Structure 1
Amino acid sequence: MSEAYEVGSASGLCVVAILCCLVLACSYVGSLYVWNSELSRDHPAVIKRRFTSVLIVSSISPLFLWVWKELTGIKADVAILSLMGFRLDGILTATILPLLLTMLSLDCPWGLLDGLKVAFDSRFWMLCFTDMRWLRNQVIAPLTEELVFRACMLPMLVPCISPGTAVFTCPLFFGIAHFHHVIEQLRFRQGTVLSIFLSAAFQFSYTAVFGAYTAFIFIRTGHVIGPVLCHSFCNYIGFPAIFTALDHPQRATIVLFYMLGVVLFFLLLYPMTDPTLYGDIPICYLLDKGSTDHRSLCL
């Protein structure tokens, strides 16, 4: 790896990184509202228009990373696309292991055999790819949000505040960005003001936690494919139906398996995201070789 970059001021580095992240987050959310429409967010016409705008913002998001590098004078012997997690080294493990890890802590609606049948059912996939809401939730949102809020923001934040702190800071941009749903819910009167804001606060909490998890995966694996697949899977499964499980006749067995899944998740979190399984981690090029972060993440 190349020698660490030299920057005139650590505080200046952080200011530039945070400003770039804020502008990028505002650009992403703002692109959803450039279309003037009285229709709800789930209307196919609205979804198609938003596809266009978020894809445009996502396609130009690498420019923010490039501007950040130019303004800070950071020198790293690695391509911008590699910093963003687009690389082939270790891609097989990056595709499989984080998704398997995520599945441990969530309840899938299908058994193994049923899941395999669905996976190889062409009619199922034809229906999915003609459903605008499915495309939004399972394809466009995971891809564009992970690209913008993880692949572009984390390389800017890591040299400023260290990988560990960046894992918990980056999701704040992600969580705040989801507050735009409040605007639409108030506009279409989808509940009382109190219930809408309580729902938004709850959504911010779990999106921030989930954002920290995918940020952790991105930094540990150096790939964006794992966060995208985990995001898509979680969007499909939804929030764990814990209270429903408590009303089930077999609730003791279900709760036991829930707990077993959570325990296995935490036991395997570090082994299954061991950076040595994924080749050279591009973010390591942004860290000082003598730092504790470099030793723990890159060696």
Structure 2
Amino acid sequence: MDETCIRTANFSCFILASVYVGSLYVWKSNEDRNHPKTVIRRFISAFCMLFVAPMIVWVTLNYMNHKESVDLLTLLGLRWSGLLSAISLPVILTCVLFLGPITSSFFDGSWKDLFSADCWKNNLNDILWIRNQIVAPISEEFTFRACMLPQLLKCYSNSQAVLVSPLFFGVGHFHHMVERWRQGMPLVQSLFLSCFQFAYTTLFGMYAAFLFIRTGHVAAPCVAHAFCNVMGFPDFGDIGRQKGWKRTVLASAFVIGLVGWYFLLWPLTEPILYDNNP
């Protein structure tokens, strides 16, 4: 591998991650991250990143490629061809992975919220829901996947890029540790939670990077990200809280979901399904 290429791509990705996180803190405020004023200001930052991040990518790729032309929109996964598959198949695949939590939602009746007009109305009026399910998935996947991977893939193989890119994503979440500490949480506890968050965001980042590379669409990791945010981290403890046949069914659902996801991962992300010609 070209060491200069690797250093350039890694440095550019570091700049992207730093600018993304830094844009959230340019606003002077004493409110916490969930205060409506803070959320709206960070929405503005996220919107600005949709323009700033591609500029960084364009400069870096032109530096790497010199006189070669750069089809930036295609590299960023912004294209119409294969879009319908990109917003449907990754959701189906991720649903299989979350078969356990989905089964649990049938047991407690929460699945009905999906078909409740009042629930959707409340969600769309909830600024935190909009942040978690719409703004965060779009802005984070655009910056950490669509803008980083085209640079990393110039220097790394696909498998290497899948392993490297999530590290920027995981580290990019460590700023939450400072926020928790400022709100009064003990430093050790805040650090532990951030390390746990780093672990699962890095794992998800690998999955999201894989989806982006295989589909050639930024929409694919966006919808998977949004779905995961809706479901939350799987509550494995719910298996122990169930009784009788429900416990057996729920435990089986977790296992079947993981195994099914493993076997469907490659077939449902076949590039031809997304008109992706890497």
* Corresponding position of 2:125: 130
1:195-247 alpha-carbon deviations (Å, 9 max, x no partner): 11111111000000000000000000001111001101101110000012222
2:82–2:274 contact (8 Å) kept in structure 1: yes
* SS of structure 2 residue aligned to 1:138: helix
Q: What is the TM-score with the length of structure 2 in the denominator?
A: 0.92
Q: Distance in 2 between matches of 1:242 and 1:104?
A: 16
The letter of the residue matching 1:211 is G
* Corresponding position of 1:256: 252
* Corresponding position of 1:246: 240
Fraction of identical pairs, as percent = 39
* SS of structure 2 residue aligned to 1:280: coil
Q: CA deviation at 1:58?
A: 2.5
What RMSD over aligned residues (CA atoms) do the two structures have, in Å? 2.0
1:221-275 alpha-carbon deviations (Å, 9 max, x no partner): 0011110011011011100000122221122221011101111000100000011
Q: CA deviation at 1:124?
A: 2.8
Task: Decide whether aligned partners of structure 1 residues 69 and 262 sit closer, same or farther in structure 2, where only a CA change above 3 A counts.
Answer: same
Q: CA deviation at 1:117?
A: 6.4
Which of 69, 73, 89 in structure 1 is aligned with 2:81? 89
* Corresponding position of 1:234: 228
Correspondence list, 1:5-24, <5 A: 10-24=2-16
Q: Any gaps of 5 or more consecutive residues in structure 1?
A: 1-8, 285-299
Q: Distance in 1 between matches of 2:232 and 2:204?
A: 12
Q: CA deviation at 1:74?
A: 5.3
Q: Distance in 1 between matches of 2:45 and 2:210?
A: 28
Task: Decide whether aligned partners of structure 1 residues 77 and 98 sit closer, same or farther in structure 2, where only a CA change above 3 A counts.
Answer: farther
Q: Distance in 1 between matches of 2:200 and 2:217?
A: 23
Task: Decide whether aligned partners of structure 1 residues 12 and 124 sit closer, same or farther in structure 2, where only a CA change above 3 A counts.
Answer: same
Q: CA deviation at 1:78?
A: 5.7
The letter of the residue matching 1:268 is L
> Quick check: 1:185 aligned with 2:185?
no
Q: Distance in 2 between matches of 1:258 and 1:119?
A: 21
Q: CA deviation at 1:120?
A: 5.4
> Quick check: 1:154 aligned with 2:149?
yes
* Corresponding position of 1:272: 268
Q: Distance in 1 between matches of 2:229 and 2:68?
A: 35
* Corresponding position of 2:190: 196
> Quick check: 1:140 aligned with 2:132?
no
Task: Decide whether aligned partners of structure 1 residues 244 and 121 sit closer, same or farther in structure 2, where only a CA change above 3 A counts.
Answer: closer
Q: Distance in 2 between matches of 1:78 and 1:270?
A: 28
Q: What is the TM-score with the length of structure 1 in the denominator?
A: 0.86
Q: Any gaps of 5 or more consecutive residues in structure 2?
A: none
Which of 63, 67, 75 in structure 2 is aligned with 1:71? 63
Q: Distance in 1 between matches of 2:227 and 2:67?
A: 36
Correspondence list, 1:188-227, <5 A: 188-190=183-185, 192-227=186-221
Residues matched between the structures, number: 272
1:246–1:255 contact (8 Å) kept in structure 2: no
Q: CA deviation at 1:119?
A: 4.8
* SS of structure 2 residue aligned to 1:46: helix
Q: Distance in 1 between matches of 2:242 and 2:78?
A: 44
* SS of structure 2 residue aligned to 1:159: coil
* SS of structure 1 residue aligned to 2:197: helix
1:97–1:272 contact (8 Å) kept in structure 2: yes
The letter of the residue matching 1:272 is L
* SS of structure 2 residue aligned to 1:69: helix
